[in-house]
Amino acid sequence: MQTREISLKYKIIYVIAVCLTVVLLLLGNEGSQPLEYTGSELQHSVGLIDSESALLIKESVARNGAIANTPQYVINKGSYTASMEYKAENDDSVLELWEQGSKIAAWPIPADQGKMSVDFTLSKDMKQLQLKINYSGQGELRIKKLALSPHGMFYSDTYFFVAVFVLLNVLGYAYVRSGRKRITQERLLDYSIILGVALLATSPMMQTYLYNGDDLCYHLARLEGLKDGILDGQIPVNILPDGLKNHGYLNAMYPYLFLYIGALLRICRVSLALSYKVLIFLANLGSAVSAYVAMKSMIQSRRSVMLAVVLYTLMPYRFTNIFSRGDLGETLALIFWPLVIAGLYHVIMGERRKWYYLVIGFSGSLQSHILSVAFVSVICVITALVYCGRIIREKRYVEIGKAAGLSILLNVWYLVPFMTYYFGEDICKDSLRWSSYFEQSINPSNLTQSLSLYNKQYFSLGLALLGCLGIGVVYLLCERRANKTELDGYLLYLLVLGCILTFMTTGYFPNRAMLDNSFFENIATMVQFPWRFLGPASTCILFVGAIGLTRSEVIKPYRNIIFAMLVGLNLLIIVSVPTDNNHMPYDNPEAVASKGHESKLAANIGLFYPHEWRIDGAAEERLTSSVISSDLNSITVYDYQKRGTKAVVSYRAEDDGYIELPMQSYIGYRACDENGNTVTIERGDAARMRFAVKGDGAEHRIYVQYGPVAGFVIANIISAMTMIGCIWYLYRSRKKKCGIKDESALSQSV
């Protein structure tokens, strides 16, 4: 069918609309505006606020030192100007610049000026940059305004939106011009629903502020550290080089593949907050696509497929992870649970050739969250045992072997470092077992409720999924059918599995009694929270309800009503997300720039490095920022420089002794002297790198760097070659398929 050419008139209108949108986006750019605080808006411990919103400090407070400061910011490297309006009676007060608890610059506040402005340059990105006002303790100090201005821009968020908008338009135009087969109206509607649901799920986060979930600060630290690791030259990134007060922090223990997206945005100077929000949007979109693909592979019913998309993407447990818990890892892992359920079905009784669903589901879970992939593994084993007769009879173990082998080969690049550090490094694994488990059980009455972010321990299946449970009971247990299909048997298995997993989250499950058993206690304390089972339980129940709605004869007359009711109940999840004034982007018109910056620079969240993956003994109070020597009188340290995971120290020693560098001595670091000879790295106090020094009175240098580790490199090559092989196989299969189609079309025409 010949398509109609778009007229010049509409082309001009379209170009004008695109240009106008770009202009409007650029007009809203605040990335170059100063970050400003009045005296009353500064964080302060003493002082009075006068009628002009200035902070007044008098000598009568009988205190000196840091009395006011800004929040801590994640700031890109570059040049900046700090300016201050004030009134001072004494010259001894100081404006200071701090980073991760260490003072990096200071400027006196002249009493005779009333205004001051200082320029400074940051040689690298800062994690916790903060301006502090150090009061001398004498005379009156009145702080009117404190501002921080970039010479370029704080972040490039607006330009990112412009680039995405223009790129989407270019791709759309290229698709139209390519003359390819148009997308059918039915498929276009499906894609629109998927995108719309993903946007709806992200809408509470479209406000300026980030919701401060329990683990959000850790995942922001991972995102920022991953960016530093890439710039440090690590591929993949096993060490966050500037984390933990510049000591370095182990990254290989928590999966991070999908965080590379946010890290690359950070390299392009997109703000940390927006980089995180992009990941959440992609997680929502990925969840919708995963539910769509998985359900469509099992049943050809658009009603079931669309119900799965809406209910899974807006699932209460997903929202709890995103907004209340701030658990990015489990949020990403939930993308792949539908593919795991569909993959198990196809491997056991469905289409054999779709065994790759299980590979994608397993690999995606592994690259998102370790505990989630442990759950996936256990459920795969249980399913194989339940259907072992069929697997042996139909020789389905071939597909299972393919899925297992390919999954290991694709992920060996991550598994080898993980296993090396977990079993070979003296890291604080015991801190993972802090939960008493039983006390985290769910009150069963909560399973009927929608989401509430005001209660941090609030977990639910939600009314919509309970409705799916009811559909499953009616279809699988109450209806009498002459011919039960294999799919019905699998759905019954999912129903039982979902109910058991849900029961295990409640206080009625005998958790406390089972904790007396050392084996169960070891597993339970590692899992930490029984409500983690809500993820797989919700997915199982969702599949049962969505497929049962289409296949049930009893429910058939009421399908449309039930569909609308379930979707409507799930939409209540969005309504329940709080939007009070604490989450509004701006308190007043005058604070537009500062409040916008405050969120985008993660000032209201902060960064955190848990104890789990530190080397044992690296407590916060024992970390230092300088080189330590065994004897200050006989050992002189001339210079110490650290850039990423590389460092160099110069020293002279009159007697034998040692020096300790402020770096965590993880496996993979190596050192040499100025002559290229290997220097042994010992472990000193607080897990610092310790080096024995020569007491010959001569000046020596020690060079330190991370990697490459031979085993890690081999694992990387294996995974890379496996991925290349998969791409080549898909390309050849697609080319062969296209060739068969062309031959068929030619024979028909002849």
**716-749 per-position pLDDT tens digit:** 999 999 999 999 998 888 877 666 655 555 455 5
Sign of the CA dihedral running 670, 675, 677, 679 = negative
Q: What is the CATH number of the domain that holds 56?
A: 2.60.120.260
Q: How far apart are CA 456 and CA 530, in angstroms?
A: 15
Peptide bond into 662 cis (omega under 30): no
Q: Please check whether residue 22 lies inside any domain of the structure.
A: no
Q: Please check whether residue 612 lies inside any domain of the structure.
A: no
Q: Please check whether residue 104 lies inside any domain of the structure.
A: yes
Co-location of 237 and 333 in the same domain: yes
Co-location of 392 and 305 in the same domain: yes
Q: Report pLDDT digits (tens) over 220-251.
A: 999 999 999 999 999 899 999 998 888 999 99
Q: What is the number of structural domains in the chain?
A: 4
**pTM of the predicted structure, to 2 decimals:** 0.91
Q: What is the DSSP string of 219-267?
A: HHHHHHHHHHHHHTT-SS--EETTHHHHT-EE-TTS--TTHHHHHHHHH
Co-location of 286 and 137 in the same domain: no
Q: How far apart are CA 102 and CA 245, in angstroms?
A: 9
Q: Report pLDDT digits (tens) over 290-322.
A: 999 999 999 989 999 999 999 999 998 898 888
Q: What is the DSSP string of 428-463?
A: -GGGGG---SGGGPBPGGGGGS---SSSTT-----H
Residue 352: helix, strand or coil by DSSP?
helix
Of 523, 557, 583, the residue that ends a domain is 583
Poorest-pLDDT segment among 264-278, 519-533, 649-663: 519-533
Q: How far apart are CA 354 and CA 260, in angstroms?
A: 28
User: In the block, which residue shows the tokens 């610092």?
Assistant: 688
Co-location of 332 and 473 in the same domain: yes
Q: How far apart are CA 365 and CA 255, in angstroms?
A: 9
Nearest to 606 by CA among 125, 8, 64, 130: 130
Q: What is the DSSP string of 557-604?
A: GGHHHHHHHHHHHHHHHHHHS---GGG-S-SSGGGHHHHHHHHHTTTT
What's the pLDDT band for 603 if we cut at 50, 70, 90?
A: low
Residue 52: helix, strand or coil by DSSP?
coil
First to last CA, the chain: 21
Q: Please check whether residue 8 lies inside any domain of the structure.
A: no
Co-location of 325 and 422 in the same domain: yes
Co-location of 75 and 209 in the same domain: no
Q: How far apart are CA 248 and CA 665, in angstroms?
A: 9
Co-location of 327 and 435 in the same domain: yes
Co-location of 746 and 685 in the same domain: no
Q: Please check whether residue 18 lies inside any domain of the structure.
A: no
Residue 157 CB burial class (10 angstroms; 0-12, 13-18, ≥19): buried
Co-location of 663 and 568 in the same domain: no
Show Cβ contacts of residue 582 under 8 Å, excluding neighbours closer than 6 positions.
209
Co-location of 135 and 212 in the same domain: no
Q: Please check whether residue 711 lies inside any domain of the structure.
A: no
What are the phi and psi torsion angles at 114 (to 5°)?
90, -20
Q: How far apart are CA 288 and CA 292, in angstroms?
A: 6
Q: Report pLDDT digits (tens) over 73-127.
A: 899 999 999 999 999 888 889 999 998 888 999 999 998 888 999 999 998 899 8
Q: Please check whether residue 182 lies inside any domain of the structure.
A: no
CA angle, residues 703, 705, 709, in degrees to nearest 5:
135
Co-location of 563 and 700 in the same domain: no
Q: Which residue range(s) make up the domain with 100?
A: 35-150
Pairing outcome for strands 646-653 and 635-643? antiparallel
Q: Are 691 and 636 in contact (CB under 8 A)?
A: no
Residue 186: helix, strand or coil by DSSP?
helix
Q: How far apart are CA 563 and CA 546, in angstroms?
A: 9
Co-location of 529 and 666 in the same domain: no
Pairing outcome for strands 78-88 and 115-122? antiparallel
What's the pLDDT band for 375 if we cut at 50, 70, 90?
A: very high
* Amino acid present at 739: G
